Structure 1
Amino acid sequence: MTVVETVLKRTPEPLRSVLIKHRELLKFAIVGGTTFLVDNGVWYALKLTVLEPKPTTAKAIAIIVATIVSYILNREWSFRTRGGRERHHEAALFFVISGIAVGVNLVPLVVSRYVLDLEVPHVTFLVQEIADFASGSIIGMLLAMFFRFWGFKKWVFPDELGERRRDNDQATRLP
């Protein structure tokens, strides 16, 4: 029994039905939480050390690392029953959508730092870090998450291709 099935089994009925109906979204959110930790861990490790004067570059690198982790987890778990394209084609689409999402994710941080001047010496270090976290890790990541979920379902892992994969899985199972 998988972790998700165990959790669903212990969830009260009204909520269980909603979670089962939106299972992909739940898995996508768990992957998102995991990549959120990867993204912020890499971002702060870089921006507080070797890329201190370049927080946007550090964030872009962190997003790329998190995106690679996201591809693996989404392909093998969240959207496992969808897709069905050749892996290189699917990966290319995934990284195109994710590349656009990197831009979506960076816009709030760029606005915070370079339009609103929420950086030292205009504000204190604490205000700068709170603004960076709010704009880069909360607002930017949420905007990019909605864009990615929509793009992955529509183009990378479309359900029409997944029906073929599910049919093949069912045909190969023993009764």
Structure 2
Amino acid sequence: MSVVETVLSRTPEPLRSVLIRHRELLKFAIVGGTTFVVDNGVWYFLKLSVLESKPTTAKAIAIIVATIVSYVLNREWSFRTRGGRERHHEAALFFLVSGTAVVVNLIPLLASRYLFNLEMPHVSRLVQEIADFTSGSIIGMLLAMVFRFWGFKKWVFPEELGGKSRPAGPEGSDDGDVTPLQR
């Protein structure tokens, strides 16, 4: 039984129907949660060590690492039934959309640090860290997530190309997590 099927089997009915209809969004959100942890882990490791004086650079590197993880997870799980382009073309589009999303993600952090001066010595270390986390990891990431979901569905993994490069598995299941409710 797959992760999604397990979650759906334990979900109360009105919500289960909504989740089944929006399965792709649910998978995208799970991948997003995973990459959120990767992003922040790398960011804080770099920001609190080798790139202490360059938090925006540390965030950009963290986003790039998380984006690579995101590509693999989204291609192989979230949008597995979509796409159909040659892998190099699909990857180029993925990283183009993601590169634009990096800029979208960094705008709130840049504004917090350099427009509103929410950095030391203008504010305490605690205020700086709260402002960095709020602007870089909450606001920026949410804005970038909305942009990525739209861009991935529209250009990278379009539905009209779905299934052309990935054969269906047993019982018509293309990714192993179709619930008995959908059959």
User: Shorter chain as normaliser: what TM range?
Assistant: over 0.9
Query: Which amino acid letter does the alignment assign opposite residue 142 of structure 1?
Result: L
Residue of structure 1 in register with 2:103 after alignment: 103
- Report 1:38-57 matches (<5 A): 38-57=38-57
Larger relative contact order (CA 8 Å, sep ≥ 6): 2
Residue of structure 1 in register with 2:13 after alignment: 13
Cα separation, 2, equivalents of 1:135 and 1:172: 46
Residue of structure 2 in register with 1:94 after alignment: 94
Percentage of pairs with the same residue? 81
Q: Does residue 114 in structure 1 map to residue 114 in structure 2?
A: yes
Residue of structure 1 in register with 2:128 after alignment: 128
Superposition TM-score, scaled by structure 1 size: 0.95
Cα separation, 2, equivalents of 1:67 and 1:170: 28
Identify unmatched segments of 5+ residues in structure 1: none
Give aligned pairs, total: 172
Shift of the alpha carbon at 1:10?
1.5
Residue of structure 2 in register with 1:169 after alignment: 168
Moved over 6 A (4+): 170-173
Shift of the alpha carbon at 1:169?
2.2
Cα separation, 2, equivalents of 1:171 and 1:32: 28
Query: Which amino acid letter does the alignment assign opposite residue 168 of structure 2?
Result: D
Cα separation, 2, equivalents of 1:171 and 1:157: 23
Offset from partner CA, 1:44-86 (integer Å, 9 cap, x none)? 0000000000000000000000000000000000000000100
Superposition TM-score, scaled by structure 2 size: 0.91
Q: In structure 1, the residue corresponding to 2:162 is in which secondary structure?
A: helix
Shift of the alpha carbon at 1:7?
1.1
Q: Cα 1:81–1:64, aligned 2, differ >3 Å: closer, same or farther?
A: same
Cα separation, 2, equivalents of 1:9 and 1:147: 30
Shift of the alpha carbon at 1:170?
6.9
Offset from partner CA, 1:21-62 (integer Å, 9 cap, x none)? 000000000000000000000000000000000000000000
Query: Which amino acid letter does the alignment assign opposite residue 12 of structure 2?
Result: P
Q: In structure 2, the residue corresponding to 1:133 is in which secondary structure?
A: helix
Q: Cα 1:20–1:119, aligned 2, differ >3 Å: closer, same or farther?
A: same
Offset from partner CA, 1:122-156 (integer Å, 9 cap, x none)? 00000000000000000000000000000000000
Q: Are 2:85 and 2:165, in contact at CA under 8 Å, matched by a contact in 1?
A: no
Q: In structure 1, the residue corresponding to 2:98 is in which secondary structure?
A: helix
Residue of structure 2 in register with 1:140 after alignment: 140
Q: In structure 1, the residue corresponding to 2:118 is in which secondary structure?
A: coil
Structural RMSD (CA): 1.6
